[in-house]
Amino acid sequence: MTDSRETKKVIGVRRLKEAMAKPASLRIITVANQKGGVGKTTTTVNLAAALSMGGLRVAVIDLDPQGNASTALGVEHLENAGIYEVLMGDLTMSQAIQKVKGFPSLECVSSNTSLAQAEIELVPMVAREMRLKDAIDELATQRIAAGEPLDYIFIDCPPSLGLLTINALTAAKEMLIPIQCEYYALEGLSQLLKTYELVKKRLNSSLKLSTFVLTMFDGRTRLANDVADEIRKHYPNELIDIPIPRAVRVSEAPGFNQTVMTYDASSPGAIAYMSIARELAERGKPFDSNVVSINYKREGEIA
């Protein structure tokens, strides 16, 4: 009898019927929220996978010492060199990046166990807040020279507002905040926004709070709807109003070293993430004055 894990492994990655829009330039998106368990890593890896399936060149930087993004993408990270060595100056980003198996245009710079001490080791370093930015600039330049420019870089932050997160915000062009549709979801958001404003003022004037994503949404509860309404009221332009449902498949996928996009592409969670990825891509494409409206697909995406 075939083990269910093996069955899931051979499904493979399928391209979408309709390619996603290429951005006008490289989009570097930091996914941040100092509250743990809000779907930050899940959002990072699934949006990256969906955009790659849409024909775009995507890289994920796993800046969380827990290494969950690396695990979800099936990238070896416990012993190999990764983002820690890049931040310490021992490797370039180009040397540390790895291909994600099954995805022709998805790559990952993994976390490893050494990253936990990076917060302390960065303190005495010159330009400590700029280490990640410099490394990303090197990677982007190298890919342009090779004729294979990246379209997206996602940075998965740890659940804190320390030097790693500051590095991520300094390196990024955009910040994406996943908001859990549960109790205490908005608690701490004000502190995150203060950090964002401080980084924007002192270190990265081009940083933009571009996107909110609603995660773990249960439409049957009044609480989930109240949280969603609060975000809609205060951030109507930044919110991608396609809630990610609380779903078993989304939670199961990392246990098989997969994103939900390959684990079960027809599940409600996968469909929601695919829809969010497509809207995210549409928001970043070159402006076309002839386009009046966009009809985002929510079903039947996979060819």
Strand partners, 298: none
The pLDDT score that the predictor gives to residue 302 is: 53
Task: State percent of the chain over pLDDT 70.
Answer: 89
The pLDDT score that the predictor gives to residue 13 is: 62
pLDDT in tens, 114-133: 998 999 999 999 899 999 99
Mean pLDDT of the chain: 88
Provide CATH code, domain 20-284.
3.40.50.300
Least reliable range by pLDDT among 69-83, 158-172, 230-244: 69-83
Check whether 301 has a pLDDT greater than 60: no
The pLDDT score that the predictor gives to residue 12 is: 53
- Rounded Cα gap, residues 131 and 42, in angstroms: 25
Chain position carrying tokens 């009046």? 292
Angle at 233 between CA 230 and CA 239, to 5 degrees: 90
pLDDT in tens, 34-78: 888 889 999 999 999 999 999 999 999 999 999 999 999 999 877
- Rounded Cα gap, residues 108 and 63, in angstroms: 11
CA distances from 73 to 42, 68, 207 (A): 10, 9, 27
Least reliable range by pLDDT among 56-65, 145-154, 181-190: 181-190
Model confidence band, residue 295 (pLDDT cutoffs 50, 70, 90): very low
Model confidence band, residue 170 (pLDDT cutoffs 50, 70, 90): very high
- Rounded Cα gap, residues 230 and 170, in angstroms: 28
Q: What is the mean pLDDT of residues 10-26?
A: 77
- Rounded Cα gap, residues 203 and 186, in angstroms: 26
Pairing outcome for strands 174-180 and 152-156 = unpaired
DSSP-H helix ranges across the chain: 4-9, 40-53, 68-72, 83-87, 93-96, 118-121, 131-145, 163-171, 189-202, 222-234, 248-252, 260-263, 268-284
Strand, coil or helix: 107: strand
The pLDDT score that the predictor gives to residue 47 is: 97
Strands of the 152-156 sheet, one edge to the other? 98-99, 106-109, 58-62, 152-156, 27-31, 174-180, 208-215, 239-240
Instruction: Give the pair of three-digit tokens for residue 93.
Output: 């980003």
Chain position carrying tokens 């969010």? 276
pLDDT in tens, 78-124: 778 899 999 999 999 999 999 999 898 999 999 988 998 999 999 99
Check whether 7 has a pLDDT greater than 50: no
The pLDDT score that the predictor gives to residue 193 is: 93
